[in-house]
C-alpha cells in the first residue's frame, strides 16, 4: 500500500462503458481507492482523478474513449485532474492510447486493478504515464479489498473471468484473457458480505459465467445451490452464459432452486448453422433449440434473452431468414442485437465477404422490430397479474420505488422508502414507457418467490 501525503478527501469520478463486468470492476476500483481518501463524485468537473472504464467490443464503443478523453483534456490542463483509462480498450490498445492521448496519466488493464493505488501514486509523483496491462488474474481477486456495502439491494459478484472460446468476431479472449474461475469459498464469503450489506439479490457475473467450476469440479448449478443457502438472500441470477456450458446440473438448479430467478440471458448470435460455424460458436441452431427445450421443461415460466449479430461476413438473405425463424420460434422476453463490427486482430475482420452497411441496417431494423414485438407482448401479458417485485431504489417520481419482477421487468409503484430491499406482491396495472406500473398489494408481508401458472 502506498501512503498519500495529504489527508484531504479526494474526488474520484469513474465513467463506465460496456458490460456488467465493467460495472462490477468500477465498484471495486472505487473500493481499492477508498483507503487512499478517494470518494466517488457524479461529475468529472472538480474531480482529482477521472477513470474511464472502457469497452472494446464494437468500434463505436471503442472510439468513445478518444472523444471522451478529448473532452476531459481541458480539465486536466485547468485543474490538474489526473486521467486514467481502464478496461478493455486499455488492455487492447494501451500503447495507442498513450500515443494518441499522451496527457493520460494511467493506463491499466482489467487484471491490474489491485495495483491502481501504486499506479496513481507513481503518476502523481510526476514519474510519467503508468501502463499496466499484465494478466495475473489469479492475483487480482486475492488483493482486492472486501467490497463496500454500497451496491444496494441488487448486487453484482464476478465469479469468472475471461474466455477460451474465440468466437471469430470477438475481442474478449484477447482483452480479458483465458477462462479463470474464482474459488467457491471466496465467492461465498463475498456473497455473505454483500447480503450483510443489504443485498437481497446477487447476479453472478462472468464472460462465460456457466463455465465456472470449483476446485472439486463442481459447476455453476452447485454454486447456485450453495449460495441459495445464505439467509436473507432472496434472488440469484447469472450472466452471461454460453450454450456450450449449459450442463444438466445447471438445468436442474433451474427446476429445483426457487431462489434462482426464471430469467436467462443465453446469447445465440445467429440462427444459421453456416454462420454459427463461421463464428466458431461450437453449436448449431438445433443444439440451441434443444437446450431451450430442456430449460423450459425444467422451468416452464423461464423468460429468455439473447444476443444477436446481423451482417456477419458472408451472411446471406437465407442465413438471416434463419435467424428470424429462430426468434419467431423461441420467443424472447428481451434481447440485444448488433450490426457486426470488424474488430482489429479478430479472424472475422479478415474475411473478404463483408456485408454492406445498408444490408446490415435493413437486417438490424427487421430483427429489432420482431424482438420489440415479442418484448411488448411479453410485458403486456404481465398486466393484471400479481407478481413478487424486489424494490431497489427511488423511482423517477416522488413517493415511488423502482424494482424488478422475477423475469427482470422493471416495475415502479408508490411505496414507502422503507420498502427498498423487500420483495413485495405487486399487481401490475399498466404498461408505461420503460417499465410496468404496479400497485403493492400487501406490503405487510414479504412475498415468497413463487412460480407463475
Q: Distance between CA atoms of 312 and 28, rounded to whole angstroms? A: 35
Is residue 270 at the binding interface for ligand SAH, with CB under 6 A as the rule?
A: no
- In the range 72-111, which residues lie near ligand F3S by CB under 6 A? 87-88
Of 219 and 421, CB closest to ligand SAH: 219
The HSE-up count of residue 46 (CA atoms within 13 Å, CB side) is 7
Q: Which is nearer to ligand SF4, 88 or 106 (CB)?
A: 88
Stretch that binds ligand SAH, among 79-87, 177-185, 285-293, 338-346 (CB under 6 A): 338-346
Q: Radius of gyration over alpha carbons of the chain, in Å?
A: 23
Residue keyed to cell 477513470 = 51
DSSP secondary-structure letter at 110? Answer: T
Is residue 222 within 8 A of residue 246, CB to CB? The reply is no
Instruction: Give whichever of 28 and 165 is closer to ligand SF4, judged by the CB atom.
Output: 165
Q: Whole-number minimum distance, CB 94 to ligand F3S, in Å?
A: 14
What is the β-pairing status of strands 263-265 and 386-394?
Answer: unpaired
Which set of grid coordinates corresponds to residue 191? 456473497
Residue 202, strand partner residues: 155, 236
Binding segment (CB under 6 A) for ligand SF4, from list 165-173, 246-254, 351-359, 415-423: 165-173
Q: Residue 343's binding partner, choosing from ligand SF4, ligand F3S, ligand SAH, none, with beta-carbon cut-off 5 to 8 A by kind?
A: ligand SAH
Which residues in the 310-349 window bind ligand F3S by CB under 6 A?
none
Is residue 170 within the footprint of ligand SF4 (CB under 6 A)? Answer: yes
3-class DSSP state of 202: strand
Give the dihedral sign, CA 287/18/203/438. Answer: negative
Q: What part of residues 200-259 is at the interface with ligand F3S (CB under 6 A)?
A: 207
Shortest Å distance, C-beta 279 to ligand F3S:
17
CB atoms within 10 A of CB 93: 22
Count of residues touching ligand F3S (by CB under 6 A)? 14
Strands 334-339 vs 303-310: parallel, antiparallel or unpaired: parallel
Which region among 15-23, 105-113, 160-168, 443-451 touches ligand SF4 (by CB under 6 A)? 160-168
For the chain, percent helix, then strand, then coil, each to nearest 5? 40, 25, 40
Q: Give the shortest CB-268-to-ligand SAH separation in angstroms.
A: 8
If one asks whether residue 18 binds ligand F3S (CB under 6 A), the answer comes out as: yes
Give the contact letters, 95-134, x = binds to ligand SAH (CB under 6 A), - = no. Answer: ----------------------------------------
Smallest separation, CB 100 to ligand SAH (Å): 21
- Burial state string for 99-131 with b = 16 or more CB within 10 A and e = fewer than 16: eebeebbbbbbbbbbbbbbebbbbbbeeeebbb
Residue 87 contact, options ligand F3S, ligand SAH, ligand SF4, none, Cβ 5-8 Å cut-off depending on partner type? ligand F3S
Out of ligand SAH, ligand SF4, ligand F3S, none, which partner does residue 58 contact, by CB within 5 to 8 A per kind? ligand SAH
In the sheet that holds 201-205, the strands lie side by side as 154-158, 201-205, 235-239
User: Which cell numbers in the block locate residue 435?
Assistant: 417499465
- 238 near ligand SAH, judged by CB under 6 A: no
| Helices and strands, number each (H, E), in the chain | 13, 19
Residue with Cβ nearer ligand SF4 (55 or 84): 55
CA distance 25 to 417: 28
Residues 142-181 that bind ligand F3S (CB under 6 A): 171-172, 175-176
What residue 166 binds from ligand SAH, ligand F3S, ligand SF4, none (CB within 5 to 8 A, per partner kind)? ligand SF4
Give burial (CB, 10 Å; 0-12/13-18/19+) of 149.
Answer: middle
Candidate residues 151, 207, 374, 409; the one interacting with ligand SF4 per rule CB under 6 A: 207
- Per partner kind, with CB cut-offs from 5 to 8 A, the member of ligand SF4, ligand SAH, ligand F3S, none near residue 56 is ligand F3S
Q: Does 53 bind ligand SAH (CB under 6 A)?
A: no
Verify binding: residue 208, ligand SF4, rule CB under 6 A.
yes
Of the candidate residues 29, 33, 172, 326, the single one contacting ligand SAH (CB under 6 A)? 172
Print burial letters for 361-379: b (CB count within 10 Å at least 16), e (below 16): eebbeebeebbeebbeebb
Q: Which residues contact 58 (CB under 8 A, 6 or more apart)?
A: 338, 341, 343
Dist. CA 197–CA 331, nearest whole Å: 37
Binders of ligand SAH in range 197-216 (CB under 6 A):
207-208
Out of 222, 309, 408, 411, name the contact with ligand SAH by CB under 6 A.
Answer: 309
Give the footprint of ligand F3S on this chain (CB under 6 A): 18-19, 21-22, 55-57, 87-88, 171-172, 175-176, 207
Give the footprint of ligand SAH on this chain (CB under 6 A): 57-58, 169-170, 172, 207-208, 240, 242, 267, 269, 307, 309, 338, 340-341, 343
Amino acid at each position: 500500500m502506498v501512503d498519500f501525503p495529504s489527508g484531504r478527501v479526494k474526488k474520484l469520478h469513474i465513467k463506465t462503458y460496456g458490460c456488467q463486468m465493467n460495472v462490477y470492476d468500477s465498484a471495486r476500483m472505487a473500493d481499492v481507492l477508498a483507503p487512499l481518501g478517494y470518494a466517488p463524485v457524479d461529475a468529472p468537473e472538480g474531480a482529482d482523478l477521472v477513470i474511464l472504464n472502457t469497452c472494446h467490443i464494437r468500434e463505436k464503443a471503442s472510439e468513445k474513449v478518444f472523444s471522451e478523453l478529448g473532452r476531459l483534456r481541458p480539465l486536466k490542463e485547468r485543474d490538474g485532474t489526473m486521467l486514467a483509462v481502464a478496461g478493455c480498450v486499455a488492455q487492447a490498445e494501451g500503447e495507442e492510447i498513450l500515443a494518441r492521448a499522451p496527457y493520460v496519466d494511467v493506463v491499466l488493464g482489467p487484471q491490474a486493478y489491485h495495483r491502481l493505488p501504486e499506479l496513481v501514486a507513481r503518476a502523481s509523483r510526476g514519474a510519467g504515464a503508468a501502463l499496466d496491462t499484465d494478466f495475473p488474474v489469479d492475483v487480482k481477486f486475492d488483493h482486492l479489498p472486501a467490497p463496500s456495502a454500497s451496491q444496494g439491494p441488487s448486487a453484482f459478484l464476478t465469479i469468472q473471468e475471461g474466455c477460451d472460446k474465440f468466437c471469430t468476431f470477438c475481442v474478449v479472449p484477447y482483452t480479458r484473457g483465458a477462462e479463470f474461475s474464482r474459488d467457491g469459498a471466496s465467492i461465498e464469503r463475498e456473497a455473505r458480505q454483500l447480503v450483510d450489506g443489504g443485498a437481497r439479490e446477487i447476479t453472478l457475473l462472468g464472460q462465460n459465467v456457466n463455465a465456472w467450476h470449483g476446485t472439486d469440479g463442481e459447476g455453476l448449478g452447485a454454486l447456485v445451490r450453495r449460495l441459495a443457502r445464505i439467509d436473507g438472500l432472496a434472488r440469484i441470477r447469472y450472466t452471461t452464459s454460453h450454450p456450450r456450458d449449459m450442463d444438466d446440473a445447471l438445468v436442474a438448479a433451474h427446476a429445483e432452486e426457487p431462489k434462482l430467478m426464471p430469467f436467462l440471458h443465453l446469447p445465440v448470435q445467429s440462427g444459421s448453422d453456416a454462420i454459427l460455424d463461421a463464428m466458431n460458436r461450437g453449436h448449431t441452431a438445433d443444439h440451441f433449440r434443444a437446450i431451450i427445450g430442456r430449460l423450459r421443461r425444467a422451468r416452464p415460466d423461464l423468460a429468455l434473452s439473447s444476443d444477436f449479430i446481423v451482417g456477419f461476413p458472408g451472411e446471406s438473405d437465407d442465413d438471416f431468414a434463419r435467424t428470424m425463424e429462430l426468434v419467431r420460434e423461441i420467443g424472447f422476453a428481451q434481447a440485444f442485437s448488433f450490426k457486426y463490427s470488424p474488430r482489429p486482430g479478430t479472424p472475422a475482420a479478415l474475411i473478404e465477404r463483408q456485408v454492406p452497411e445498408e444490408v446490415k441496417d435493413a437486417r438490424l431494423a427487421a430483427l429489432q422490430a420482431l424482438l420489440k414485438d415479442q418484448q411488448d407482448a411479453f410485458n403486456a401479458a404481465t398486466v393484471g397479474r400479481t407478481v413478487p417485485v424486489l424494490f431497489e431504489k427511488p423511482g423517477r417520481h416522488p413517493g415511488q420505488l423502482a424494482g424488478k419482477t422475477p423475469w427482470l421487468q422493471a416495475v415502479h409503484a408508490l411505496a414507502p422508502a422503507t420498502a427498498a430491499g423487500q420483495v413485495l406482491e405487486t399487481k401490475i396495472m399498466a404498461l408505461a414507457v420503460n417499465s410496468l406500473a404496479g400497485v403493492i398489494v400487501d406490503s405487510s408481508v414479504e412475498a415468497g418467490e413463487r412460480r407463475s401458472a
